């Protein structure tokens, strides 16, 4: 992506050129920006779906988990479905809705950034092309699926 010209420039930018309400990222942050929500979604991606499993895995207070799950269901990222295993009584599964699944690329981007900058050891997660086995990376691509290098990306506000 085109790096902003070296700052300190003569005229610093005093205010973001995009209002918070008009910025998808700011809206997303309102929903996802807290200590637990992204971790809950991470669990959902791994397939952990039951209240007590989430609680035990994350070591999150029950009350907070309850609140967050309600918020995520309310926002349409998770769906709460009753189900029954064998002759067990009815249980509930919190699963990603299509909207939640669509967060996959964001979480992968975050994961790859974390691996590059925060993680010391190697990552146990492998993202590969099923056909060729090649390792995959997050990138910006043209509509026909060709990656564009950062220097060639133009970022504009209209």
Contact between 119 and 76 under an 8 Å Cβ cutoff? The reply is no
Residue from 64, 71, 73, 110 touching its own copies (CB under 8 A): that is: 110
Q: In angstroms, rounded to a whole number, what is the distance separating the alpha carbons of residues 84 and 70?
A: 21
Bridge partners, residue 91, by sequence: 83
The H or E element that residue 91 is part of is: strand 90-96
User: Interface residues for DNA in 74-103 (CB under 7 A)?
Assistant: 80, 87-92
Instruction: Give the footprint of its own copies on residues 31-70 (CB under 8 A).
Output: 31-39, 42-43, 46-50, 53, 56-58
Instruction: Indicate the burial class of 57 (C-beta count within 10 angstroms; 0-12, 13-18, 19 or more).
Output: middle
Report what 155 binds from its own copies, DNA, none; CB cut-off 5-8 Å by kind. Answer: its own copies
Q: Taking the complex as a whole, how short is the minimal distance between the CB of residue 89 and its own copies, in angstroms?
A: 13
Residues 48-67 that bind DNA (CB under 7 A): 50-53, 59-64, 66-67
79 binds its own copies (CB under 8 A): no
Which of its own copies, DNA, none has residue 79 at its interface (CB below 5 to 8 Å by kind)?
none
In DSSP terms, 92 is beta-bridged to: 82
Query: Residue 116 binds what, of its own copies, DNA, none (CB under 5 to 8 Å, by partner type)?
Result: its own copies
2's CB contacts (< 8 A; 6+ apart) are 150, 151, 153, 154, 155
Residues that bind DNA (CB under 7 A): 34-36, 50-53, 59-64, 66-67, 69, 80, 87-92
């Amino acid at each position: 992506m085109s790096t902003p010209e070296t700052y300190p420039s003569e005229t610093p930018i005093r205010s973001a050129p995009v209002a918070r309400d008009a910025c998808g990222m700011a809206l997303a942050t309102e929903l996802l920006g807290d200590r637990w929500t992204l971790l809950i979604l991470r669990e959902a991606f791994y397939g952990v779906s039951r209240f007590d499993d989430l609680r035990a895995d994350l070591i999150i207070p029950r009350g907070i988990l309850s609140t967050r799950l309600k918020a995520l269901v309310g926002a349409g990222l998770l769906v709460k479905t009753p189900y029954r295993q064998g002759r067990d009584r009815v249980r509930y599964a919190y699963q990603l809705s299509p909207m939640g699944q669509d967060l996959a690329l964001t979480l992968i981007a975050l994961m790859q950034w974390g691996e590059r900058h925060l993680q010391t050891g190697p990552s146990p997660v492998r993202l590969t092309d099923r056909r060729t086995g090649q390792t995959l990376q997050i990138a910006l691509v043209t509509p026909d699926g060709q990656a564009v290098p950062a220097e060639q990306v133009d970022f504009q506000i209209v």
